[in-house]
Amino acid sequence: MNALTRAYNCAPLLLILGTLGWAGNTVAGRMAAGEVSPMMLIFLRWGLVTLILGGCAWRQIKPSIPIIRPHFRWTLWMGAFLSAFNGLFYWAANYTSAINLGIFQSTIPAFILLGAYLMFHERISKIQLIGLLAILVGAVFVVSRGELATLAQLMFNWGDILMLIACFFYAGYALGLRNRQAINAVVMMWFIAIAAWIATVPMVLIEFALGHLQFPGTTGWLLLVYIALVPSFLSQVFFMRGVDLIGPSRAGLYANLVPVYAGILGVLLLGELPHYYHFVALFAVFGGIYLFERSKKVKEV
């Protein structure tokens, strides 16, 4: 077994690299603000991803069509959820920091756990429930900037609210992967990318109708290439493979690496300054993750 094969079968490595790519997406999203409009960004993003994936797996796509055809509706929903997440993410990037974008992505495991309970009737232990609440408290603390008066007056940053809603959509996508067909991850991602690209069309038309459409310049295109190649292609394939190896709930926990990476990249590349409420939120989030892991060990004993 060569090194690449071993790496492709190592869930922790794949998920660590995948989350690093997503953290880079938070920085790219901030840098893209003003360079290209959000819906045009995701429209071009998924168009490029479709070309990249198609070039990598074109020989396997045709034999996989009979397998995916009975699940056409599922594929469309998966693409729609991804596009909704992306659209809200890049829209939010116009109003909030890369650090905040990263921290909010750490709430995704909590939403996955809640979704697994509601959709698949997976049991939630008391310890897990406390962990879930800790993660959500961390998110609320960032939204309110640590000010209780902000909560009372409902004076929230619009970008933070958009990002929180986006996390619901990605949790839905992650849960949907549970019903993924047994075909190559790259080929599966190509079908989902096609669906995601189709789902962006009405978004772009709405953006055009509102007069907010902006085509990318040189910087915008460079950011698009990075976004298409790393977070949209490699990170998605790595995450999908990670879900195959260890399941959506455990794989979702690795999303908590995103705020750590995003915070570091935000400081290094964007000159953003972390505030005390970021550290409080991270403490709450990782405390929640610790409780999740502890509950698993208790079950194993």
Which tens digits make up the pLDDT trace of 264-273?
A: 777 777 777 6
Quick one: residue 180, left, alpha or beta (phi over 0 = left, psi -120 to 50 = alpha)? beta
pLDDT value at 121 more than 90:
no
Let me know: does 288 contact 149? Beta carbons within 8 Å: no
- Measured CA to CA, the distance from residue 278 to residue 172 in angstroms comes to 26
Let me know: does 41 contact 90? Beta carbons within 8 Å: yes
pLDDT digits (tens, 9 = 90+) for 128-144: 677 767 766 666 666 56
Segment 209-227 shows an average pLDDT of 91
pTM of the model: 0.73
Tell me if residue 20 falls in helix, strand or coil.
helix
For the ranges 96-110, 229-243, 273-287, which has the lowest average pLDDT? 273-287
Q: What is the rounded end-to-end Cα distance, in angstroms, of the chain?
A: 34
pLDDT digits (tens, 9 = 90+) for 6-45: 877 888 888 888 888 888 888 888 888 889 998 899 899 8
pLDDT given at position 136: 66
- Measured CA to CA, the distance from residue 84 to residue 122 in angstroms comes to 26
Q: At how many degrees (to 10) do helices 11-32 and 235-246 cross?
A: 150
- Measured CA to CA, the distance from residue 46 to residue 192 in angstroms comes to 10
Nearest 5°: the CA angle 241, 244, 245 is 90
